[in-house]
Amino acid sequence: MGRLDGQTALVTGGGRGIGRAIVKKLASEGANVVINYGTSDRAAKETADLCRKEYGVKTLAVQADVSRAEDVQRLFEEAKALTGKVEILVNNAGITADNLILRMTDEDFDRVQKINLYGTFYGMKLAAKTMLRQRYGRIISLSSVVGLHGNAGQVNYAASKAGIVGMTKSLAKEMASRGVTVNAVAPGMIETDMTAAMTETAHKAMEGQIPAGRMGSPEDIAEAVAFFADPASGYVTGQVLAVDGGMAL
């Protein structure tokens, strides 16, 4: 018996990296999982197959561009068709387009907002509608320590992730009396495909800024998401949990 037996979780950007770790963790706790992906259909379907075989849960991989409201609407319709309900939404899909502000184009700024910020907004809106009817739900969004403290060369990314914090706290106030919690996880430096491309020198320099002495793993983030998704966490809402090894201290 898992903490999430019989519930259905929708995870955007759930085929790879942090999203994949979140999907696996929720499935291991008994949740049926709907895995949204943008272009990586093979990774999403592999993750779905893995969860179905290892944990015996229902799975579904759904392509949708979270920057498009109509795609997110279709995503929710397909997700609800799996079991008739969605109790957990994890807004994980996100991109970067880093550059110093003097070199950052309008297009790069807009593209990051559309996926990271608008995508989260569209998901929150549809989840709120569904969960209000259920009088139960968990909405968990991925922010970043960059959204809390800023980072040179990431004005667009920081703006999107700071916006997620503001939306999380505001929606938490709207939903608290209806049995729905709204929280965010703010990862620090996590071992993903993106950080794997860094040089060894850059890795060591970054790790030197982290009191824990190491980068985090996708599984570290998945554990935090599972905490917020737990029915036992019903009195925790409007919170932003930094999972960063003490980097932001």
Q: Which of 153, 190, 167, 242 is nearest to 19 (CA)?
A: 190
Angstrom distance (rounded) from CA 152 to CA 57: 42
Average pLDDT on 66-79 reads 98
Evaluate whether 142 touches 18 at the Cβ level (below 8 Å): yes
Q: Distance between CA 207 and CA 209 in Å, rounded?
A: 5
Give the model's pLDDT for residue 207: 81
Q: What is the mean pLDDT of residues 215-230?
A: 97
Which pLDDT score, from 0 to 100, does residue 205 have? 72
Name the token pair of 227.
């905490």
What are the boundaries of each domain within the chain? 8-243
Residues assigned a catalytic role: 157
For the domain 8-243, what is the CATH code? 3.40.50.720
Tokens 């554990």, located at residue = 223
- Residue 190, CA distances (Å) to 6, 90, 245 in order: 30, 18, 10
What is the percent of the chain where pLDDT is above 90?
A: 88
- Greater confidence (65 vs 195) lies with 65
Residue 234's pLDDT band (cuts 50, 70, 90) = very high
pTM score, whole prediction: 0.95
